[in-house]
Amino acid sequence: MEQRHRQFSLVYLLAALLLMAAMQTLLRTGAEQSLAYSDFKVLLKAGKLHDLVVGEREIRGTVDTRDLGTILAGPQADALRGAGGDERRFTTVRVGDPALTQDLEAAKIRFVGDVDSQWLGTLLSWVLPALIFVAIWGYFLRRMGSATGGLLEIGKSRARIYMQTDTGVTFADVAGIDEAKAELMEIVEYLKAPERFRRLGGKLPKGVLLLGAPGTGKTLLARAVAGEAGVPFFSISGASFVEMFVGVGAARVRDLFTQAEAKAPCIIFIDELDALGKARGFGMAGGNDEREQTLNQLLVQMDGFDTNKGVIIMAATNRPEILDPALLRAGRFDRHVPLDRPDLRGREQILQVHVRGVRLAPGTQIAQIAARTPGFAGADLANLVNEAALLAARRGKDAVDMADFDDALERIVGGLEKKNRVMNPLEKRIIAYHEAGHALVAENRPYADKVSRISIIPRGIAALGYTRQTPSEDRYVLRKSELLDRLDVLLGGRLAEELVFGDASTGAQDDLQRATDMARQMVTRYGMGEKLGFATYERLASPLEPDPAAAPREPRDYSERTAEAIDDEVRHLLADAGERVRQTLQTRRAELAALADLLLATEVVDRAALDALLHAPPAQTPTTPQTLPAAQPGAVAHAS
C-alpha cells in the first residue's frame, strides 16, 4: 500500500508549546495558591502563617486554613480552603516593606531567607521545551523519512527496482516499432545467454539511447526489455538526480551504480535524460554547477564499469539535440535506437494491443480507425481507445462501436463539443459558408486529401467549425503541386466569405497563419520560390518535433535584401493561390450554396452526404513519385 506523505507544520510545535505552558500553570496552581500581599499581612498579624521562606522577589509558606472566614472575607478565603485539609501552601510577591522583618519577629513566626536561584525554573522553561522540540522534530523527520528517505539517506538513489513480474510488459505488448524491438532483442539475448557473445570476444554496448517524440513508447520498450530478459529493472528520472544540496546528485549516481552492480545482471533506465545530460557550458555558470557535477559523475561511472558484469544502461529522450556530446560518444551511449511515429500498419497493430480489454461491437474496423489517425503516436492511440470506451459507457452501450471511435477522434482533434454555445443566425451562416469553402476547394483539387467530415458545431475554446480531411495513405514527401493544393484548401474558407458576403471575418485567422507558414517554408526550406532558386534560408527543426512549424526559429543569417525577396515570394504564392480559389468558388457557386444550406440544416455532413450532394464518387488521390520532404504529415482539420 502506498504510504501517505506527511509534512512537518509549525502548528504542531505551537500546540506543543501551549500545552506545556498550560501544564506548568496547572501544576503550579495546584501546588501553591497565589496570595495578595495585603492578605498576607492580615494573615501574618492573625498568626495563621508558618514555615516562611523569604526571598528577594517572593515569599512562600504555609497558611492555616481553619477559621479563615473570620479573618478573610470573600473568594480569597474560599480559594485557600478549596483544596481541602487544614493547611495550604501559598506564595506572594514581595513588595518594598521595611517593617516586614519586625512584623515577622513580633508575630514569632519562624522564617528563613532564600537566594532566588532560577536554575530549576530555567531548566523547566528553556531546557525542557528544547528537549521536547527536538523530540517532536525527530518524530516528524522519521515520518517524512519513511516516504523520502530522510536526511541521512539524501544521497541514496531513488531508483525503483522492477522484477520481471512487476513490469508485466513483454515485446508482445509493444507494437508498431518492429525495427526498434529487433534492435533491442540483441540485448535480451545477451542478458539471457552472455556466453554466446563472450566466446567470440564481443562486448555489449554500454549504453542504449532511445530517441523518439513524446508518446512513441520509449519507456514501454525499456520495461519490455527487462520483462523479456527477466532481470531487475532500475527506473529513475533524470530530474531526480538534481537537488538543492550540492553533491547530492553525484552521490545518487554512485549509489545507483552500486545497487545495480549488486543486482547484476540488470537494467538501469534513465527517463528524460535531457534533464540531466544537457550540454555543458550554457546558461549562468553558478546555476548549473550541481547539474554539471552530476553529469560528470555519470560520465565517470559509465566509463568505469564493465558490461561483462551484465549491467545495461538505457535512457530515453525526445530532445537529443541538446544532449552533451560526451554522452553520445562511443563507449557510453554508443547505440541509438530511434522510435518514429507509427505508419498505417503500425497504428493498426498498436490499436489491436489496446483494444484487448475493450468489448468491441461487431463490425468495428480497426484498420479504418488506423487510417483516420495519421500522425498519432502510441500514447495518442491508447487515449483514443480509452475515450471511445468512456463515451460508449456514458451512452449506456454494451460495446464500443465505430461511432464512439469517430466521436472520440473528433474530441481529441477538435476539442470538446459545445452544442450549448449560442450563435446568432448570421454568424452561423458565415461559418457554414466558410467550412463549405474549405470542403469544395478540397474536392476540386486533385492532390488534396479528400474530406471525410464537415461540422459547424463549436468545439474547444475558439473553434466554431471544422473540415476534416483524411489522407488515403501515409505521406513522407510532398511535391510542389501537392503543397499548392493544400495552400488552396487553407484559403478556401476566407475567400468563400468574401465571395458570398462581400466582407471578411476573423474566423479565418488560423487558416491564414497556417497558409503563411506553409508558403514561407516552401520558399525558405524547400527551394520552391521562383526568384530565390535552390537556396534554403531556414534551419530545419528537430525531426522529433511534433510540429516543425511551431518549433523556435533560429536567428536569420541572410541580408535584408534577401528577407525582402522572401517576403515577396510568400506574398506571390498566397496571391496566386487566392486567385485560383476565387475562380473555383465562382464556378461552383451553386454547389457552395447547397453545401452551406445542408450544413445549416444538419450541422454535420459526412462523406456519404457530401458525395450525394456533389453527384460524384470520392476521387482517388493519384499515386505519383514523391521527391520532397513533407512539411507536416498528418490528418488535416481546418477550424474556423
**Which one is catalytic: 272, 290, 410, 435?**
435
Q: Would you say 456 and 624 are in contact if contact means Cβ atoms under 8 Å apart?
A: no
Strand partners, 466: 455, 639
Strand partners, 92: 59
Q: How many CB atoms lie within 10 A of CB 293?
A: 17
SS3 state of residue 355: coil
Establish whether 179 is a catalytic residue.
no
- Report which secondary-structure segment, H or E, holds 441: helix 425-443
Residue of 116, 124, 122, 117 whose CA lies nearest to 21: 124
Phi, psi of 88 (to 5 degrees): -150, 135
**Euclidean distance between CA atoms 378 and 341, whole angstroms:** 8
Alpha-carbon distances of 396 from 385, 389, 392, 393, 419, rounded to whole Å: 17, 11, 6, 5, 21
- Cell reading at 184: 533491442
Q: Would you say 629 and 526 are in contact if contact means Cβ atoms under 8 Å apart?
A: yes
**Euclidean distance between CA atoms 137 and 211, whole angstroms:** 46
- Characterize 351-385 residue by residue with b for buried, 16 or more Cβ atoms within 10 angstroms of its Cβ, and e for exposed: bebbbeeeebeeebebeebbbbbbbbbbebbbbbb
Q: How many CB atoms lie within 10 A of CB 306?
A: 11
Phi, psi of 383 (to 5 degrees): -65, -35
Q: Please, where are the H alpha helices in 230-288? A: 248-263
Query: Which string of DSSP letters, residue by residue, matches 70-137?
Result: GTS-THHHHHHHTT-SSEEEEEEE----TTHHHHHHHTT--EEEE----HHHHIIIIIHHHHHHHHHH
Residue of 340, 312, 147, 324 whose CA lies nearest to 231: 312
Query: Left (φ > 0), alpha (ψ -120 to 50) or beta: where does 505 sit?
Result: beta
Q: How many residues does this entry show for the chain?
A: 640
Q: Which residues are catalytic?
A: 435
